[in-house]
Amino acid sequence: MLLIDKVARLWRKEHPVIQENHAYFSNFDQNKTLKEYDFIVFDTELTGLNSRKDEIVSIGAVRIKGLRIMLSQNFYVFVKPSGELPKDSTLIHRITPEQIKNAPSLEAVLEDFVRFCNGSLIVGHYIDLDMAFINKATRKLLGGTIANPCIDTLRLAQVFREEQWGNYYDQFNYNISFNLSDLAKEYNLPQMDQHDALQDAIQTAYLFLFLVRKLNRGGIKTLKDLYMAGRSWRWLF
Amino acid sequence: MRQQDKKDVHSVTPEVVIEFLKKTLPFNELDDEILERIAAECTVDFFPKGTTIFRQDETEVEYLYIIQKGGVKIYLKDEDGLITLKDFRGEGSYIGALPIIQGTRANLNVETVEDTFCFLMKKEIFLNLIQSNPRFAQYYLKSFSEKFLRTAYAELRQHRVAPRTEGTLYLFSVQVGDLIKRKLQTIPASATLQSAAAKMAEHHIGSLLVTDEEGEIVGIVTDKDLRTKVVAQGRSITEPVANIMVSPVEKIDAHKVCFDALLVMMSKKIHHLAVERQGRIVGVITSHDIMVLQGSSPLYLFREIVSQRKIEGLYSLSQKVPLIVRTLIEEGAKPNNITRMITILNDHILDRLLTLMQENLGPPPVPFCWLLMGSEGRKEQTFRTDQDNALMYQDPKGESQRRQAEEYFRTFGQEAIEHLVKCGYPRCPGDIMASNPKWCQPYSVWQNYFDDWILRPEPKQVLHATIFFDFRPGYGELNMGYQLREHLNKMTQRQEIFLLHLAKDCLESKPPLTFFKNFIVEKDGEHKNRLDIKTRGLVPFVDFARLMSLKYGIKETNTLGRLELLYEGEHISKELYIETVEAYEFQMQLRFVHQLQMMEAGKQPDNYIDPRELSDLEKQTLKEAFAVIGRLQAIIRDVFPMI
């Protein structure tokens, strides 16, 4: 926990949903099999990549339970940013100012989103970015950050690729892409439309299922296994 | 509860499932509303390649698995651990329906052969759908293959051939027995011709069946007999009927459909058929009876052909042959019926042509036999097939007869081919035609050819085999052709090496599926992304039937005929026989419809089918058909274990 959060907790009351969130993860068992955990796979569409000044315009999330994607247990909202919707971002996510004119504010949906995530691990593709935006928002609006352990499918994909590297020199092939849709193509996954928060979340969920079953030749059983698989890769550098 | 409500506010129905189910049989039959409801209940699971999803007799099936991406194999394992591959299923297929419906554990083993994603539908939801949607239920409850084929055929007919006329199904639905309009009329063989004529006039009929003393039917007399044998020849009207009757009577079973009657009449050149029910003759039908049923019929064309007196007249008549195919497809003819009909008509054109040519050129110095090769030999011609023919004549005696025969038949062969080209049968690109001196030879040379191919098989020889070994005598001294076939059958059965070459060739073609994802299509050129249904799909069946027939001494050349004899001779199982026939016929049908569409669009018909233009059902059925190729190859490996 960042120092700023600790300080913040001293003088600012946390929202009950955040307290609930922290209570669950303060006592968290990593040794259960993956099937016993719930995962929330999520993706955000943003006005830009700078978490200091940019904002969330859409959140899409879907639940994985028993290592199956529960397609209907999803969370999908458009959010009206407080500032302008930059034109260049519209070009990427195709969300127009018109579409979000009547959308709720982030404040109105954030509590629901945190509640949706409570008790689950969080999965995302390059999840650090999305978490930076979410935590900035929860800190401001709910008085604290969320404590869900996060799993980055991008990192898993890198580990998987490293496992696949039979040839030493492949490591110097810099043309490889870890872009979500490129990975979906490469692994022959069912392909979703891009740049829609929910579709991207579902795509990430497919990628996650694929990777946890394929990594270590199917030898990943527990959350700890998954963590170790990720760590071994990091030691190489 | 409040929480629940709030969560629902932000959740949507997963489009991905709805979109997928809308394209998937039989879910595409469901209303949007129902589809949305069941889509919300579907979950996604992933099974890496090599995962066993169902274990025979063990797995409790809790879900219907619909394959979104990837593929599975389905197999049986008996007590001895012997594995029998039953099926492959790919995208859009499902597994688990049968055990759910029957309330049993998995009846087969299911293993993924690729990384596979499935939509899982709870069994309660699936059972509920079956109970509340009769059309949905029908899909699963009817026998799998039967249902598939029937619907696929119907779909082909309904959606792919735009109806031009109100399709009358008479030819293929009306049984011969139903055509009998009047009581059976007979006359004793000893009765006079005059009394026969009187009786025919009295009943306004064109034929009488003739009985012997015991009342057994021994022959038939028709008004044509009275014209040609009595009046024209000046016979006495007091002679007994027995003198002019045709005996024995050509018979047909009452349960046969009119189409079959038509075929018998056309191939025997007769107009009357006695109809037999349980071994007893119950009536007579005429070609006229069928003509009345059928507005414009192949029979009309047939009559025009056989009565043609000028070679030039045949040119335009032969062009009409493809036209009858549309009528036949509309009427629900199975492809084999269509090819048989085309074959009969083409045979008659050839018959007329060669007969008229002999009238012009004078009789041949020695008897000869016109040989039909390839698809003509197999009686599997479609709209326009290249000529594949040859000429074989009796071994001449002495040098002068040899030279005389050589000269006559060279001219004869060349002229015949010219006429056939004008009739619209394109030349054989490989020059396998009677105009080529190499393929216009006496019997002994032909016998040597075949011996050579069989005894010294080389790759080119094997290729020859595929064309030549399907030969059938088409005209002339047919017995000469049968004799050659007899000889050849004795030879091949003993020559394992030759058969091995053929077998190896059979195993080289790969079924046209890159495992479910796509059909193997042409990669470039004019036919890019299209499937050559002849080479990829049909040829393996033809090759299989030929190989096995040569191996087991079967003289038949027609592929379906060969398969039937192989089954009767217990060389292939009933199951495989039925599967093979269905798979073969479906592809033939697809090809016919494709070619018909091309012809009607004014294009030259070809064998390249665009898989994107096929409906889901057609694709699925075609995939099933291709899967049979693998099974045929397995049989070949079994029969020829040393390959």
Where a domain ends, among B85, B117, B141?
B141
Using CA atoms, how far apart are residues B25 and B94, in angstroms rounded to an integer?
Answer: 9
Chain segment B600-624, per-residue pLDDT in tens:
777 778 888 887 777 666 777 787 7
Task: Domain of residue B15: give its range.
Answer: 2-141
Contact indicator for B450, B484 with CB cutoff of 8 Å:
yes
Listing from the earlier edge strand, what are the strands of the sheet with B368-372?
A: B440-442, B389-393, B368-372, B472-476
Non-local CB neighbours of A37 within 8 Å, separated by 6+ positions: A120, A121, A223
Instruction: Determine how β-strand A56-65 pairs with β-strand A150-152.
Output: unpaired
Number of domains comprising chain B: 3
Pairing of strands B207-211, B186-188: parallel
The model's confidence at residue B480, banded by pLDDT at 50, 70 and 90, is very high
Q: Is the peptide bond before B248 cis (omega within 30 degrees of 0)?
A: yes
Q: What Cα–Cα distance (Å) separates residue B208 from each residue in A175, A215, B290?
A: 89, 85, 18
Which has the higher per-residue pLDDT, A127 or B332?
A127
Q: How far apart are CA A90 and CA B330, in angstroms?
A: 54
Query: Which residue of chain A comes nearest to B517, CA vs CA?
Result: A188
Query: A115 and B7: CB-CB below 8 Å?
Result: yes
The answer as to whether B161 is a domain residue is no
Q: Reply yes or no on whether the pLDDT at B523 is more than 80.
A: no
Q: Is the pLDDT score of B5 beyond 80? A: no
CA-CA distance, B380 to B109, in Å (whole number)? Answer: 39
Q: Are strands B518-519 and B513-514 parallel, antiparallel or unpaired?
A: antiparallel
Nearest to B607 by CA among B517, B537, B553, B513: B537
Q: What is the pLDDT of residue B580?
A: 92
Indicate whether B141 pLDDT > 90.
no
Tell me, yes or no, whether B313 and B289 share the same domain: no
For the cut 90, the answer to whether the pLDDT of residue A210 exceeds it is yes
Within this chain, do residues B250 and B357 fall inside the same structural domain, yes or no? no
Q: Do B474 and B366 belong together in one domain? A: yes
Q: How far is CA B118 from the centre of its chain?
A: 37
Do B388 and B499 lie in a common domain? yes
Q: Does A108 touch chain B (CB under 8 A)?
A: no
Instruction: Give me the pLDDT at residue B54, please.
Output: 93
Asked, for residue B163, whether it belongs to a domain, the answer is no
> Can you tell me the distance from the alpha carbon of A224 to that of A222, in angstroms, rounded to the nearest whole number?
5
Q: What is the pLDDT of residue B235?
A: 87
* CB of A119 less than 8 A from some CB of B: no
DSSP A64-126: EETTEEEEEEEEEEE-B-SS---HHHHHHH---HHHHTTPPBHHHHHHHHHHHHTTSEEEETT
Q: Which residue has the tokens 């394109």?
A: B426
The mean pLDDT of B350-356, rounded to a whole number, is 93
Helix H or strand E segment including A159:
helix A153-164
Domain identity same for B288 and B192: yes
Domain boundary among B294, B324, B348: B294
Query: For position B544, what pLDDT does the model report?
Result: 94
Q: Which of A50-54, A72-76, B525-529 has maximum average pLDDT?
A: A72-76
Kindly report the CATH number assigned to the domain that includes residue B283: 3.10.580.10
Question: Cα(A57)–Cα(B511) distance, rounded to whole angstroms?
Answer: 50
User: CA B207, CA B193: separation in Å to the nearest integer?
Assistant: 12
Q: Find the domain containing A175 and state its range.
A: 3-235
| Residues 6+ positions from A207 with CB-CB distance below 8 Å | A125, A153, A157, A180, A183, A184, A187, A189
Residue with tokens 């050659």: B484
Minimal CA separation from A152 to chain B, in Å: 19
Mean pLDDT of the A188-207 span: 90
| Token reading at B159 | 């959606």
Q: Give pLDDT, residue B160.
A: 46
How does residue B159 score in pLDDT terms, banded at 50, 70 and 90?
very low
How many domains, chain A? 1
> What is the rounded average pLDDT for all residues in chain A?
84
B43 chain-A contacts, CB cut-off 8 A:
68-71
Are B447 and B481 in a shared domain?
A: yes
- Residues B424 and B556 placed together within one structural domain of the fold: yes
> Do B118 and B21 sit in the same domain of this protein?
yes
Q: Own/partner pairs for A134-137, CB < 8 Å, 24+ apart?
A: A134/A44, A134/A56, A136/A51, A137/A56, A137/A106, A137/A110
* Pairing state between β A121-124 and B63-69: unpaired
Structure tokens at B176: 């011969």
**CATH code for position A95:** 3.30.420.10
Instruction: Look at A72 and B9 and tell me if their CB atoms are within 8 Å.
Output: no
Q: At what angle do helices B559-568 and B574-600 cross, to 10 degrees?
A: 170
- Of the candidates B98, B77, B97, the one whose C-alpha atom is nearest the C-alpha of residue B86 is B77
DSSP string, B465-509: HHHHTT-EEEEE-HHHHHHHHHHHHHHHHH-HHHHHHHHHHHHHS
Q: Could you tell me which of B310, B592, B353 has the C-alpha nearest to residue B474?
A: B353
DSSP state of B28: G
pLDDT at B618: 74
Residue B323 DSSP symbol: H
DSSP for B579-620, please give it.
Answer: HHHHHHHHHHHHHHHHHHHHHHTT----SEE-GGGS-HHHHH
Nearest to B69 among A109, A112, A189 (CB): A189
Residue A165 has pLDDT above 70, yes or no: no
- Crossing angle for the helix pair B298-306 and B258-268, to the nearest 10 degrees: 0
Q: Does A110 touch chain B (CB under 8 A)?
A: no
CB of A198 less than 8 A from some CB of B: yes
Residues from chain A that touch B42, judged by Cβ atoms under 8 A, are: 71-72
Q: What residues in A contact B11, CB-CB < 8 Å?
A: 72-76
Among B25, B33, B37, B35, which residue's Cα sits nearest to residue B66?
A: B25
Query: Is pLDDT of B405 > 70?
Result: yes
Average pLDDT, chain B: 82
Six-digit token pair at B139?
């899909």
B42 — contact with chain A (CB < 8 Å)? yes
- Separation between Cα atoms, residue A208 and residue A69, nearest integer Å: 10
Choice between B172 and B588, residue whose per-residue pLDDT is larger:
B588
Tell me B257's DSSP state. B
Which of A41, A44, A69, A196 is the best mutation test for B, with the most CBs of B within 10 A? Answer: A69
State the Cα–Cα distance between residues B55 and B77, nearest whole angstrom: 10
User: Among candidates B395, B303, B379, which has minimal Cα distance to B348?
Assistant: B303
Same domain, B475 and B393: yes
Q: Which two tokens stand for residue A201?
A: 């979340």
B463: contact with A, CB 8 A cutoff: no
Considering only residues B280 and A84, tell me which one the structure prediction assigns the higher pLDDT.
B280
Contacts of B68 in chain A (CB under 8 A): 190
Among A104-108, B77-81, B251-255, B345-349, name the one with the lowest average pLDDT.
B77-81
The residue among A64, A71, A160 with the most chain B CBs within 10 A of its CB, best to mutate, is A71
> In the structure encoding, which two tokens stand for residue B501, read together?
């070459």
- Give the sheet arrangement for strand B251-253, strand by strand: B251-253, B272-277, B280-286
Distance CA B142, CA B132 (A): 16
Which among B10, B46, B48 is the nearest to A75, CB-wise? Answer: B10
Give the lowest-confidence range in A64-73, B261-270, B582-591: B261-270
Spatial separation of the C-alpha atoms in residues B494 and B496, rounded to whole Å:
6
Please state, as a whole number, how many other Cβ atoms lie within 10 Å of the Cβ of residue B28.
12
Burial B577-596 (b: 16+ CB within 10 A, else e): bebbbbbbbbbbbbbbbbbb
**Residue B12 distance to chain A (closest CA, Å):** 7
Task: Looking at the complex, report in whole angstroms how far the Cα of residue A65 sits from the nearest Cα belonging to chain B.
Answer: 10
Residues A106 and A43: their CA atoms lie apart, in Å, by 15
Query: Is there a single domain that holds both residue B289 and residue B378?
Result: no
**Within an 8 Å CB–CB cutoff, is residue A116 touching chain B?**
yes
Helix (H), strand (E) at residue B97: helix B97-102
Give the tens place of pLDDT for each residue, B446-478.
Answer: 999 988 888 887 777 676 777 888 999 999 999
Least confident of A189-198, B347-356, B360-369: A189-198
Close Cβ partners of A217 (under 8 Å, ≥ 6 residues apart)? none
Whether the bond into B459 is cis, omega within 30 of 0: no
Residue B382 pLDDT greater than 50, yes or no:
yes
What whole-number distance in Å separates Cα of residue B98 and Cα of residue B91? 18
Distance of CA A70 to the CA centre of its chain: 16
Q: Looking at the complex, does the CB of residue A226 fall below 8 Å from at least one CB of chain B?
A: no
Q: How many helices (H) and strands (E) does chain A have?
A: 10, 5
Measured CA distances, B226 to A128, B187, B218, B222, B243 (Å): 102, 14, 18, 7, 11
Residues B276 and B317 reside in one and the same domain: no
Question: Could B46 and A71 be called an inter-chain contact, meaning their C-beta atoms sit closer than 8 Å?
Answer: no
| Average of per-residue pLDDT across B65-75 | 87
Q: Are B402 and B396 in contact (CB under 8 A)?
A: yes
pLDDT band at B643 (very low <50, low <70, confident <90, very high): low
ipTM of predicted complex: 0.86
CB pairs below 8 Å between A and B: how many?
A: 78
CA angle B589, B595, B598 (to 5 degrees): 145
In a domain, B150, yes or no: no
Among B92, B126, B141, the domain-final residue is: B141
Q: Which residues of A touch B40 (CB under 8 A)?
A: 71-72
Inter-chain contact B115–A188, Cβ cutoff 8 Å? Answer: yes
Reported as a single tens digit per residue, the pLDDT across B286-310 is: 877 776 665 446 777 777 788 788 8
In whole angstroms, give the CA distance from residue B448 to residue B443.
9
Q: Nearest CA to B7 among A137, A129, A17, A144?
A: A17
The pair of structure tokens assigned to B278 is 């349980």
Judge whether A214 is closer than 8 Å to chain B, CB to CB: yes
The reply to whether residue A210 touches residue B46, judged by beta carbons under 8 angstroms, is yes
Distance CA B453, CA B375 (A): 20
User: Scanning the structure block, which residue is given the tokens 């030759």?
Assistant: B498
pLDDT tens digits along A109-146: 999 999 999 999 999 999 999 999 999 999 999 988 99
Residue B221: the pLDDT is 92
Bigger pLDDT: B47 vs B22: B47
Average pLDDT over residues A165-179: 62
pLDDT band for position B210 (cuts 50, 70, 90): very high
Q: Does A235 have pLDDT greater than 70?
A: no
Residue B281 and residue B310 share a domain: no
- The answer to which of A69-73, B493-497, B517-521, B538-542 has the lowest mean pLDDT is B517-521
Residue of A nearest to B68 (CA): A190
A12 min Cα distance to partner chain B (Å): 25
Please determine, for residue B47, whether its predicted confidence score (pLDDT) is greater than 50: yes
